[in-house]
Amino acid sequence: MQLDRQAYLVRFNEGKAAYAAGDPSDACPYDRIGDKEQRFGYRYWTRGWNAARSQAEAHPQQSAPRTGH
């Protein structure tokens, strides 16, 4: 695998999708202390997961419309 921008975007989007699916941050399929490819995957998967969480926290969805009461 080449460790380039395309691979970065794939891992980043995998992390975002995992957050959207409700997976916890420690569900990363890549090893933080593995070989170069595993560390690359871990780094950018985690960044994607964190970015999705930050976006969700910054723009929480309202569970019910306000009625003014």
Model pLDDT for residues 14-68, shown as the tens digit of each residue:
999 999 999 999 999 999 999 999 999 999 999 999 999 999 999 877 544 455 5
Token readout for 45 is: 């998967």
pLDDT for the residue numbered 33: 95
pLDDT for the residue numbered 47: 97
pLDDT for the residue numbered 64: 42
pLDDT for the residue numbered 1: 67
Q: Give the 3-state secondary structure of residue 45.
A: helix
Whether the full predicted model's pTM is greater than 0.75, yes or no, is: yes
Q: What are the backbone angles phi and psi of residue 35, rounded to the nearest 5°?
A: -70, 180
pLDDT for the residue numbered 59: 85
8 A C-beta contact, residue 27 and residue 18: yes
